[in-house]
Copies of this chain bind each other. A is one copy, B any other.
Amino acid sequence: MKSRSEVLLLTLDLAGVFVFALEGASAAISAQLDLLGIMVIAFATALCGGIIRDLLIGAVPPKAIQDWPYGSTAFAGGAIVFLLHGFVDRIPGPLMLLLDAGGLALCAVAGADKALEYRINPFLAVLMGGVTGVGGGTVRDVLLAHVPRVLESDVYASAALAGSALMVIGIKLKGSPMFMAIAGGTVCFLLRIVSVWQDWNLPKVLW
């Protein structure tokens, strides 16, 4: 039997997977993919970040390949977008933004924490937080033959890295892991929201 906090964590995790799957499936529909393509892109967007992290830190087989709840949740998200496309399309943008920022914060913090657990160097554990957060979207964009949006503009990966970095530094300074995870996640979440609201972007070199 699982403890109450484990159930809470799994629920949050699956909620993040679900939101990312909705987004992936919507992108697949815009690209005119068929039902299979929609399901594949939903799965890839929702789970490839964690899968890449797991392969890199040596946690094989990745959790998302070994256990069924992750894949099923991703496919449920894809199926809902396929069946109720008109409806999902009408979810207000700001709500999607909040949900997505929440999913990103969760992925980043959980990803960095898992890397620490596998004794990865703290600097690279922060990167693993970033990979967990944006890896899925990157794979989606590669499959759709775009340059990954996350590389071009927006404070997205940077928010994930900032949140992961705060958590990892806090834990290395003997902070309570639970507290630092909440602090890191909050920073990632707020940074993402505020950057969209204020239209922040990272600098480019233009000459």
Minimum distance in angstroms from A15 CB to a CB of chain B: 20
A121-B66 CB under 8 A given contacts A36-B150, A147-B143 = yes
Minimum distance in angstroms from A70 CB to a CB of chain B: 9
The 13 sampled A-B contact pairs (Cβ below 8 Å) are A28-B151, A32-B152, A33-B151, A33-B152, A34-B201, A34-B203, A34-B204, A38-B205, A55-B56, A60-B60, A61-B118, A66-B120, A71-B127
- Residue A143 contacts which of B33, B34, B82, B142 (CB distance < 8 angstroms)? B142
Q: A17 vs B28: C-alpha distance in the bound complex, in angstroms?
A: 30
A116: interface (CB < 8 Å):
no
A124-B35 CB under 8 A given contacts A41-B151, A60-B58, A151-B41 = no
Contact with B along A137-152 (1 / 0, CB 8 A): 0100011111110111
Chain B residues contacting A38 (CB-CB under 8 Å) are 205
Chain B residues contacting A127 (CB-CB under 8 Å) are 71
Asked if residues A71 and B205 are in contact (CB atoms below 8 Å), the reply is no
Contact with B along A1-44 (1 / 0, CB 8 A): 00000000000000000000000000011011111111011000
A86: interface (CB < 8 Å):
yes
Minimum distance in angstroms from A198 CB to a CB of chain B: 16
Q: A127 vs B138: C-alpha distance in the bound complex, in angstroms?
A: 21
Chain B residues contacting A204 (CB-CB under 8 Å) are 29, 32-35
Minimum distance in angstroms from A144 CB to a CB of chain B: 6
A157: interface (CB < 8 Å):
yes
Minimum distance in angstroms from A50 CB to a CB of chain B: 12
Asked if residues B57 and A61 are in contact (CB atoms below 8 Å), the reply is yes
Interface residues of A in 101-157 (CB under 8 A from B): 118, 120-121, 123-124, 127-128, 138, 142-148, 150-153, 157
Asked if residues B121 and A37 are in contact (CB atoms below 8 Å), the reply is no
A128's nearest neighbour on chain B, judged by CB, is B65
